[in-house]
Chain A
Amino acid sequence: MNRPRFDPYTEVLHAFNQKGVRYVVVGVSGINYYAKSPSESFSTQDYDLFLENTLGNLKKAVGILSRLGFHVATKEGPFRPDHIKEIVQRQGTLMATNPQGIQIELLLRISGYVFRELEKDAKIFLVDEVPIRVGGLRKLLMSKKIAGREKDRLFLKRYQANLTGNML
């Protein structure tokens, strides 16, 4: 049987769903699912996935990404499977990149919320009939506010301007 053709992000999440990886799409990539049209969406290079911070969950996620042709690395350098326990313990971040330059970030911690809080009221959107678990809009924006980095503040300003424009 032919495998359905998905975009790289949906292909990863389809596999995550099938193998029971617990994830929530977060960050600007998550916020974009709430846009009504492409003109309301925001530019982003990364696709951020917040994963439940357990050894089994991260192992499954990394295994799937590797099988789908992604190269997995840490912020400090190449990913070594024997370091996975340490990554879970320090709630680190992994970056997965495929040969086409598609980047997916695997986060084990985000500002302001633990995984369960994001997961419990996540929205389920459909992409080519694949269910995609996306964090609640208010929580995704609040996480950016709590993180308080320069890029987050700028993003919130842009988001606020969009909202104001839509309300006029």
Chain B
Amino acid sequence: MVRTHIRGEALLRGMTLTEVAKKLGLYLSNLSAMDSGTRPVSLRQLSKIAQFLHCGVGDLILGSEEERPLFHEKALDRAVDKIEALSEDGTDKSWVPKVTLAWNRHYVKAKKKR
């Protein structure tokens, strides 16, 4: 199923998905499902939406994140996905801003020396 960027493109134009659905005479639930890739969307529907949003059909189609490689080696992309998957919500990361703060102090000092 194709994931689309309808909501994002609408938001960029200051519109909500509800407004797009209303203007195009579509059910919001259907449009929302098309956006998340859980409902098939025809090329005809996509071009109607694109026309309304003044963008190209291509702007509305999103590959899955996995289809957009980050690095040349697939193993590296898999490593990134693994790190993300292992980083659970609620993980304590109290050390991170302290390190950022230390880097900031370093930069401020270096700037003063210059």
Contact = CB atoms under 8 A, between A and B. Distances in A.
Q: Do A and B bind each other?
A: yes
Interface in B8-58: 8, 11-12
B108 A101 contact: yes
B64 to A, nearest CB: 11
Interface in B78-112: 79-81, 83-84, 87-101, 103-108, 111
B70 interface: yes
A136 B79 contact: no
Contacts of B70: 138, 141-142, 145, 156
B76 interface: yes
Nearest to B99: A38
Which bracket fits the contact residues of B? 35 or more
A147 interface: no
Contacts of A33: 87, 93, 96
Contact of A138 (B12, B80, B100, B108): B80
Interface string B1-13: 0000001100110
A34 B70 CA distance: 17
A45 B96 contact: no
Contacts, number: 107
Interface string A95-125: 0000011110000000001111100000111
A68 interface: no
B91 A138 contact: no
A124 B91 CA distance: 8
Contacts of B8: 113-114, 116-117
Interface string A43-55: 1110100000000
Most chain A CB within a 10 A radius of its CB, from B76, B93, B100, B108: B100
A94 to B, nearest CB: 18
Given A9-B101, A114-B12, A145-B70, A123 B87 contact: yes
Contacts of B94: 126-128
